[in-house]
Chains A and B, each alone.
Chain A
Amino acid sequence: MSNEEVLHSQTATGHVHDTDHDHNGHHHHHETFITKYVFSQDHKMIAKQFLITGMFWAVMGGLMSVLFRVQLAYPDESFPFLETLLGKWAKGGHISADAYYALVTTHGTVLVFFVLTAGLSGTFANFLIPLQIGARDMASPFLNMLSYWFFLAASVVMLSSVFVETGPFSGGWTAYPPLSALGSASPGSKTGMDLWLIAMALFVVSSLLGGLNYIATILNMRTKGMTMTRLPLTIWALFFTAVLGVLSFPVLLSGFILLIFDRNFGTSFYLSDIYVNGVGALPNEGGSAILYQHLFWFLGHPEVYIIILPAMGIVSEVMSTNARKPIFGYMAMVGSLFAIAVLAFLVWAHHMFVSGLNPFLGSFFVLLTLLIAVPSAIKVFNWLTTLWRGNIRFTPGMLYSIGFVSMFISGGLTGIYLGNSALDIHLHDTYFIVAHFHIVMGVAGIFGMYAGIYHWFPKMYGRYLNNTLAYIHFWITFVGAYLIFWPMHYEGLAGMPRRYYDYTNWESFKMFAGVNLFITVVALIVFAVQILFLFNFFYSIFKGRKVTSQNPWGSNTLEWTAPIRPGHGNWEGEIPEVHRWAYDYGKDGKDFIAQTTPVGAEEGKH
């Protein structure tokens, strides 16, 4: 008896009159518009809600980056349309310094948390876990729904902070005190910061509810025959992602709680001997700003793996399917995911090398940081060997998967530079770090997300995305991403600091005026192409070519055994039983063998 039946049979004993219980999953709910599209408890609908909310934030965050890139490219020119758009934040067509900092801060917060955490793992964990492990829904569909609604509440609060009079928070996405702790520190540190904290607290709750559910579902609700070592790598990756989130977000929350007390209740956890604009010293005494950094980065570092692990899982799955070859080194893939998940908790202080950290302690963090190169290299090697002599189909999802590997290599290599505490003295807070994390986390994460969207769109909506638009989207995004972020390495090596409003006053950085202009122009083009993708996405939901076969990619995993447009409960009749791992491609002369096919007597071993 499966756990699902345990849950259901108890509901049955709970209602005295509920004598007849349906065990075949033909749930004939009365679905109204509200229960189907708004307060849905169907994991597939919740996944779509996460995806579309995430896409909204991706557009917002991208638009913000375009706006501050305009400032960096044309520091002296005025654009009247900016005043129309931003009002007093761009008087005379110039983005003000406060607005610039607010844009940079909100761009970072929104992209890291709302797009690449909620939008990426929220979408694919919800969509893929039940479908790929053979469950009718999550362990707790209700908690799952709450998880989305907490995310939406966080989104609404964060969005409202953009419209308050003093503007959104402007002290950087890391929200270091004292800027984040004192309302008098800057306009954005007033109401904007309060709203930022509320939004982030709601977001943490959303992540925890989601994560609990993902773990419980993966460990408890797998169908018959689906042993852990038969799980697709997407599920393994989402599992480790959820574990990271459940163990690291609470620490961030405790850091935020202390920050809230410092802001609103006059405590001094992070504050000591502060002067603001010559006023001071403030009564707060005895606190330590470094304490916040420890608590923040104890989440902050696992957070980058929360972003990249789901992308890795999606890429492994899409790549194996479209190379028509088994994934190379399945157990090594799982082992390296595990190694990354463990190391994620042991490297946070590499963000603090120049904070006055004891150099002796720093050397341990250097060692542990560089150790992450080992599982990362194993994964890259396995992806490349999966492609090697494969029968590759260059579908858009596959292109994005290959693009992901390219980005992961380019961005990962600079991570080895930055992990050294000695080099970090020079590179810290320059454009080199901006280039590094945008390529390895931002672009790679987004590429993983696109790979997933292009690959599973037919399952989500029963229609295909337009391929021509998809190829235009991929190539311009891929080339554009390198053109945007590659030159930033040179700026950073030359010492150009990040987050500055205007570089024209510095003799040393004047030579980069042309490069900055170039980056902005490419960013504008790449942003425009994302709008093309949005058009493709929403157009195809309603008008795309219809999916006519159950398994359009010839894939082994369970979601392709469900009906083309699965209802709530996923499978009509029995849940499929699993007899093999997910990667029997090109075996014994067969193109692919689905996980539901029993192992034949004459079959070779994998």
Chain B
Amino acid sequence: MATLSEQQHKRLHPHKFTLWIGIASMLMMFAGFTSAYIVKKNQSNWLEFALPPVFWYSTVVILISSLTLFLAAQSFKARNIRRYRALLTITAGLGVLFAVLQWTGFDYLVSHGVKIIGSGSNPAGSFLGVITGVHIIHVLGGVIALIVMFIKAYSKHRKSYNPIPIEVMSIYWHFVDGLWIYLFIFYNLISG
């Protein structure tokens, strides 16, 4: 096993590598969205509005979830499975909480006269809705992956001390976290 782990440190694990290419691909998608946003904003008929304040809370929530997943990975490597399960659950819960908070942000906008979809909506609001919505889907995809790992952590038939799945999971989760930070800064700078 010593040679195995030595080898792995030298070269990126194929699954991680595939994920990194996937991340490049997802980045291109959001780059497409945000450049469309910039192009459209510089044309006529763009509604200026303030971001919902709840986005600050959701930002804090997703940052904490990254921390809990980091700790979960650490406890997994320390073979502290009880703590690992608990932190995994908290992370998934925070992911769902993040999605809910984003949703209340949309509600806030609608109640303040910024329609996201439907008749009378302005592309400014729709862009915010679609980009944030696609990001929420990415977060919820991560939550599903967390639930799968959670079930595996309780499985009696399979005992695995292979750290690769939790490492791959962490890379993805920190990526969607960072993606939201990017989007949040983008909204604030470009819209402000």
Contacts and interface: CB of A to CB of B under 8 A. Distances in A.
Interface residues of B, number: 48
Contacts of A267: 116-118, 121, 123, 126, 130
B14 interface: yes
A266 interface: yes
Interface string B12-25: 11110110011011
Contacts of A272: 45
A251 B120 CA distance: 27
A16 B122 CA distance: 58
Given A6-B13, A7-B14, A248-B28, A291 B39 contact: yes
A283 B21 contact: no
Given A10-B162, A212-B21, A268 B121 contact: yes
A255 interface: yes
A306 to B, nearest CB: 14
Interface stretch (A70-78, A216-224, A357-365): A216-224
Interface stretch (A52-60, A257-265, A536-544): A257-265
Contacts of A295: 32, 36
7 contacts: A6-B14, A139-B18, A246-B25, A250-B28, A257-B134, A266-B118, A295-B36
Interface of B: 3-4, 7-8, 11-15, 17-18, 21-22, 24-26, 28-33, 36, 39-40, 43-47, 116-123, 126-127, 130, 134, 158-162, 164
A221 B44 contact: no
Contact of A247 (B14, B25, B40, B158): B25
Nearest to A214: B21
- What is the predominant secondary structure among interface residues of chain B facing chain A? helix
A426 interface: no
Contacts of A14: 158, 160, 162
A298 B32 contact: yes
A13 interface: yes
Contacts of B118: 265-267
Contacts of B159: 16
Which interface residue of A7, A14, A295 has the most chain B CB atoms within 10 A? A14
Contacts of A265: 117-118
B28 to A, nearest CB: 4
A295 B34 CA distance: 11
A6 B117 contact: no
A288 B36 CA distance: 10
A6 B7 contact: yes
A288 B46 CA distance: 11
Contacts of A298: 32
B169 to A, nearest CB: 15
